[in-house]
Amino acid sequence: MTLDSLYVKETKAISRTKGSLLIAESIPGVQFNEMVDVRLANGEIRRGQAIDISKEVTIIQVFGGVSEVDLVASRVRCKGETLKLPVARDILGRIFDGSGNPIDGGSAIIPRDYLDVNGGLVNPAGREPPAEFIETGISAIDGLNALVRGQKLPIFSGSGLPHNRIVAQLIRQASVKKTEEQFAIVFGAIGISYDDADFFMQNLEQTGAREKTVAFINTASDPVIERISTPRLALTAAEYLAWQEGMHVLVIITDITNYCEALRELSAMREEIPSRRGYPGYMYTDLATMYERAGRITGKEGSVTVMPILTMPDDDITHPIPDLTGYITEGQIVLSRDLERKGIYPPIDVFLSLSRMMKEGIGAGKTREDHNNVFMQLYAAYAEGCNLREISTIIGAEALGERDRLYLNVADRFEREFISQGEGTKRKVEDTLDIGWSIFSALPEEDLKLIGEDLIKKYLPKYAGKA
Amino acid sequence: MGKVWRISGPLVIGEDMKGAQVYEIVEIGSDRLVGEVIGLEEDKAIIQVHEDTQGLRVGEEVKGTGTILTAELGPGLLGSIYDGLQKSLTVLLENNSFIERGAKAFALPRDKKWHFTPTVKVGDAVGEGDIIGTVPETHLVEHRIMVPVGMKGVIKKIAEGDYTVIEPVALLEEDGGGEKEIIMMQKWPVRKPRPYRRRFAASKLLITGMRILDYMFPLALGGKAAIPGGFGTGKTVALQQLARWAQTQINIYVGCGERGNEMADVLHSFRRLKDPKTGRLLQEKEIFIANTSNMPVVAREASIFVGITMAEYFRDMGYDVLLVCDSTSRWAEAMREIGGRLEEIPGEEGFPAYLGSRLASFYERSGLVECLGGPERNGSVTVTGAVSPPGADFSEPVTQNTLRIVDAFFALDTALANKRHFPAINWLTSYSLYVDWVKDWWSAISPQWETTRAIALKLLQQEAELEEIVRLVGPEALPESDKLVLMVTRMIREDFLMQSAYNEVDTYCVPLKAQLMLQTINRFYELAQQMLESGVTTAEIRTSPIIPRISRMKNIPNDEAEERIKELWAEMETSLVPQRGGVA
Ligand SMILES: Nc1ncnc2c1ncn2[C@@H]1O[C@H](COP(=O)(O)OP(=O)(O)OP(=O)(O)O)[C@@H](O)[C@H]1O
Ligand SMILES: [Mg+2]
């Protein structure tokens, strides 16, 4: 305890409000970004943060807004620290709000530590490149966009698309090949409907993963300002579990779009110069400071894998929210309205989707030796088929040559047999790859030029088992 | 010196700052956060802080250092990993996986001894830039110790043996009569270009091992290039490939506002990969700057200037240096953020009006030069910067301003990337002004380069037109000769331009192999045309066993390429023959 924390730093001199900001006189000793309590005339206490301080004024962002604040009776008291989350292993199984208060009726956490919600800054030289395959049991992910521990891989969805069901399936099925290690899930809900939040919690309950999960829930009716803190609390909890308890943590954050809307609202209140479509110019950096908390650290047991979910406004992938996210994350899983209309579940658009860490996590000893080749050949064949499909919508499939019709058929089979799978179906990665090979059987062998000849002899059904 | 008056994110205003200079480095508060004065107003100084300001208070001390932002230059740079301010991240890692605020670490180790061998003797007159001795810094690079800029005189003492970078290795008697010690470490203000004697036009190809660059859009030693593209189109992989395989003597990789995992990946791969020419570990010729996106934004600007200063320093020794920067857009965004806080009048999309000149001040430090001092030598700095346009829209200010400066432009195309055509460099919109400059160089490898290249580019252009038609009438409606064009352009795209960074063999392709590969496809086209004329159909040609062999040329190791591809030629001549009785 430092000496100056013995003094109470407090002021009553609030000169005006501006949006959700309070402009108060200068408070000696206040720290930049320090947390404050704003006490209203009726005794209610709201939290706030000193976001711009000088010898003349202190500007306070009030969480929960400035309604009922008055300039005479309200007072601001500094807490002496920046926003911190109390942590302990006991947070597992618990539910908190966007300020970190328990909302499950359980007792308060007995903290082992208080962690700054902004997290530490990992030394890039101390990061371990992610390389461990996580089997999700979903072919479109495992086969073509494999997820590895420590990766940040978002889902780009659109309103009405089944991102929640896919994530629920992923949580039910996700396993790492080595199973004895400790696994935990951190769930951060930002401004989502009560029903959606409930859907996730029910799913976790059914999976039996409830006691391995920490949830931070800010629903649509909760204070907008807490949408800014919710993901940070979730990530702080994840970091604690990973770096101090040695657990492998999967963080699901939904919906980043709501987060960005809140960020834009805040920025407007601060009268900052807006950038693209009204979002603040620092949104890239702001999102990066969150997403970058995923990873592995050399010499530490655990890992933080982050899967943010966002809904693309108007299904537009160039909108700043998906765009900036894509610029930060290590790939993206993009859902397609077209596939959804065709009744394909999960409707994953494999062209727009990408996992940049995949190559580290697949291959002999990790998944299977043919994985990379199968992956490339499937893309090439499907791309060709889709291209021809587009042409055939104009000129008719009859006008295509025999070889082209073959590819048309491959594209259909790829969607129906490879991408499509039941919500309850968990495919082993070997099965996923074998589906690929069964599709290749329909093509002339000389067309499989992205696959090594030895692998063709080993895996192509007409040779398999005969070598 | 002064005290903190206001804190607003990365911007601090100090009071009682009389005497401070613009760009002076200051240390703020008990954590001694590094800041840089960027403006003065009466007794107040506007300071941009390179570290996180959370927890800082009004009234904390601001201490001037009297110096501006400098880089340390000397033995110990190679293989190092620095943050944006040139703090050694490896040193910081010794006690903590996390970087503490205000943590300090020298760029050059102070205790390590290097073996200095003099190249001058007592009594020699020396001036700025003269090489006075050498240090075998790594097996790949001899570090040449130069007389610092601004010094000249007669060597009074010269050492030989093992010294640290701060111990004197020479004593200079200056013209005026004074004496000055020379140590192996120099310091240089990063925003100021290092001097040279004169500049030349670029003329030599910088071999990158990437076919689409070397062959189609060559980069020259001393050149400047940009590689713009939407997310996931392959900027980072391309820059990593350049940093790995470019046949320059020193490579500098600046990660500016990008991902930590990517940095980890680069660092780990350089500890494993070997230089194709020498077989030595690549990190012996590499310097890394890792200033990731979650690090304080202000340091992004510094990181680029620190990088280019180190590049110039090695250039001054007479080396060819490549600097790649991923991504210049993040740097521009940092400028925008600071500008916004200063309430400057913004230019386009909120970027400061000086965006273009600031970008130029970086790219213009590239070039092929005759170095200062003796012995006479030339050195070069080649710069390639990634640009990350929002929404992959190249009309945005950073891309447009960059276009005005660079001489080669490798445009990445989201549609190609989505189809997994990598490198996703669009062959119709990219260009290189160095094509004419490197002509002589190429003709020494192969006199056919110019024509082969032109034929391929023309066919690709034709393909784009034919595809429009196919969309309307279908592929079957095309005449046979056009079908053949599509078959051949597909070969050019898939079997020549596509090049996986992850394929052990294909990751690096020597120019000769590139030439042989494209020549093979050209010859195939000629032979197939003759077959068509004799009445053979494209459908029949498509079943030729030669075709899969052409697509597997990529997997032929560089040193076997000539022999094995020429074997293929022989077979082509015997198996791709016109129909008997047809027109031969
Ligand atoms: N030459 C290549 N060979 C094989 N794969 C490649 C190549 N270039 C790019 N890729 C693939 O594309 C992915 C994305 O590339 P990269 O990370 O370089 O994109 P980027 O342009 O840097 O994106 P961002 O702007 O988001 O950083 C890689 O992870 C890899 O899968
Ligand atoms: Mg990149």
How far apart are alpha carbons A29 and A465 in whole angstroms? 76
User: Residue A134 in 3-state DSSP?
Assistant: strand
How far apart are alpha carbons A318 and B151 in whole angstroms? 55
Is the CB of B272 inside 8 Å of chain A's CB atoms?
no
Q: Which region, left, alpha or beta, applies to residue A364 given φ > 0 means left and ψ of -120 to 50 means alpha?
A: beta
Q: What is the pLDDT of residue A395?
A: 86
How far apart are alpha carbons B303 and B319 in whole angstroms? 21
Residue A39 β-bridge partners: A45, A75
How far apart are alpha carbons B298 and B176 in whole angstroms? 42
How far apart are alpha carbons A91 and A86 in whole angstroms? 9
Residue nearest atom 12 in ligand 1 by C-alpha distance? B234
pLDDT at A50 over 70: yes
Convert B502-532 into a string of H (helix), E (strand) and C (coil).
Answer: CCCCCCCCCHHHHHHHHHHHHHHHHHHHHHH
Best mutation target, A272, A273, A316, A450, to test chain B (most B CBs within 10 A): A273
In angstroms, what separates the C-alpha of B196 from chain A's closest C-alpha? 34
Residues of chain B numbered 494-533 and touching chain A (CB < 8 Å)? 502
Contact pairs from chain A to chain B, CB under 8 Å: 216
* DSSP code string of B147-161: PPTT--EEEEEE--E
How far apart are alpha carbons B284 and A41 in whole angstroms? 67
pLDDT for A424-434, tens place per residue? 999 999 999 99
Third-level CATH fold of B446-575: 1.10.1140
How does A210-240 read in b/e, with b if 16+ C-beta sit within 10 Å?
A: bebbbbbbbbbebbbbbbbbbbbbbbbbbbb
Ligand nearest to the CA of B239: 1
The answer to whether the CB of B548 falls within 8 A of the CB of B491 is no
Contact A126 B552 (CB under 8 A): no
Residue B472 β-bridge partners: none
The residue in chain A having the minimum alpha-carbon distance to the alpha carbon of residue B390 is A323
Which residues of B fall within a CB distance of 8 Å from A379?
419-420
Largest CA distance in chain A: 88
pLDDT for A440-464, tens place per residue? 999 998 889 889 889 999 999 988 7
Ligand nearest to the CA of B554: 1
Q: What angle do CA B430, B432, B435 make, to 5 degrees?
A: 135
At residue A457, what is the residue type? K
How far apart are alpha carbons B298 and B57 in whole angstroms? 19
ipTM summary value: 0.92
pLDDT for A122-139, tens place per residue? 999 999 999 999 999 999
Contact B552 A357 (CB under 8 A): no
Residue recorded with tokens 């570090």: B143
- For residues A313, A314, A315, A318, the Cα torsion angle rounded to the nearest 10 degrees is -70
The residue in chain B having the minimum alpha-carbon distance to the alpha carbon of residue A34 is B55
Contact B93 A123 (CB under 8 A): yes
Whole-angstrom distance between the N-terminal and C-terminal Cα of chain A? 73
CA B425 / ligand 2 centre spacing (Å):
14
Contact B474 A297 (CB under 8 A): no
The answer to whether the CB of A156 falls within 8 A of the CB of A317 is yes
Residue recorded with tokens 């702001």: A286
Q: What is the pLDDT of residue A5?
A: 46
CA B268 / ligand 2 centre spacing (Å):
17
How far apart are alpha carbons A446 and A426 in whole angstroms? 32
The answer to whether the CB of A21 falls within 8 A of the CB of A59 is yes
Whole-number Cα distances in Å, A227 to A95, A220, A242, A323, B302: 16, 9, 23, 20, 33
Residues of chain A numbered 240-279 and touching chain B (CB < 8 Å)? 272-276
pLDDT at A224 over 90: no
Contact A26 B547 (CB under 8 A): no
Residues with CB under 5 A from ligand 2 (ion): B 235-236
How far apart are alpha carbons A22 and A15 in whole angstroms? 8
Ligand nearest to the CA of B388: 1
Third-level CATH fold of B114-184: OB fold (Dihydrolipoamide Acetyltransferase, E2P) (2.40.50)
Cβ neighbours of B71 (radius 10 Å): 23
Give the pair of three-digit tokens for residue A91: 């947070």
Which residues of A fall within a CB distance of 8 Å from B231?
323, 326-327
Point out the ligand 1 atom lying closest to the alpha carbon of residue B262.
17
> What residue ranges of chain B have pLDDT lower than 50?
582-584
Residue B11 β-bridge partners: B8, B48
Q: What CATH number should be reported for the domain whose range is B2-68?
A: 2.40.30.20
**Average pLDDT rounded to a whole number, residues A6-16:** 75
User: What is the set of domains in chain A, with CATH numbers?
Assistant: 3-81 (2.40.10.170), 85-361 (3.40.50.12240), 371-464 (1.10.1140)
pLDDT at A176 over 60: no
How does A418-432 read in b/e, with b if 16+ C-beta sit within 10 Å?
A: bbbbeeeebbebebb
CA B236 / ligand 2 centre spacing (Å):
4
Band the pLDDT of A54: cuts 50, 70, 90: very high
How does A97-107 read in b/e, with b if 16+ C-beta sit within 10 Å?
A: bbbbeeeeeee
Whole-number Cα distances in Å, A388 to A303, A421, B452: 43, 25, 30
Is the CB of A3 inside 8 Å of chain B's CB atoms?
no
Give the pair of three-digit tokens for residue B384: 């390639």
Q: What is the pLDDT of residue A467?
A: 47
> By mean pLDDT, which of A33-37, A365-369, B413-417, B423-427 is the weakest?
A33-37
Contact A122 B420 (CB under 8 A): no
Element (H, E) at A18: strand A14-18
CA B330 / ligand 1 centre spacing (Å):
17
pLDDT at A2 over 70: no
Residues in chain A: 467
Cβ neighbours of B357 (radius 10 Å): 12
**Average pLDDT rounded to a whole number, residues A405-421:** 96
Is the CB of A446 inside 8 Å of chain B's CB atoms?
yes
Pocket test for ligand 1, best of B210, B231, B233 (most atoms within 8 A of CB): B233
The DSSP 8-state label assigned to residue A419 in this structure reads I
pLDDT for A143-159, tens place per residue? 999 999 999 999 999 99
pLDDT for B535-558, tens place per residue? 999 999 998 999 999 999 999 999
Whole-number Cα distances in Å, B29 to A395, B53, B261: 72, 10, 32
Give the pair of three-digit tokens for residue A396: 């008719």
DSSP count for chain B of H helices, then E strands: 16, 26
The DSSP 8-state label assigned to residue A102 in this structure reads B
Contact A122 B260 (CB under 8 A): yes
Residues of chain B numbered 67-106 and touching chain A (CB < 8 Å)? 81, 89-90, 92-93, 96-99
Q: Which stretches does DSSP call E strand in B292-427? A: 320-326, 367-370, 378-387, 408-409
**Average pLDDT rounded to a whole number, residues A331-348:** 96
User: Residue A199 in 3-state DSSP?
Assistant: helix
Q: What CATH number should be reported for the domain whose range is B196-435?
A: 3.40.50.300
Is the CB of A299 inside 8 Å of chain B's CB atoms?
yes
Decide if B2-68 and B196-435 have a common fold.
no
The DSSP 8-state label assigned to residue A312 in this structure reads P
**Domain regions of chain B by residue span:** 2-68, 114-184, 196-435, 446-575
Ligand 1 — pocket residues by CB below 6 A? A 327, 354, 356; B 229, 231-237, 388, 422-423, 500-502
The residue in chain A having the minimum alpha-carbon distance to the alpha carbon of residue B258 is A328
A328 — phi, psi (to 5°)? Answer: -110, -40
The residue in chain A having the minimum alpha-carbon distance to the alpha carbon of residue B290 is A124
How far apart are alpha carbons B223 and B380 in whole angstroms? 9
Q: What angle do CA B186, B192, B198 make, to 5 degrees?
A: 90
Give the pair of three-digit tokens for residue A30: 């206040």
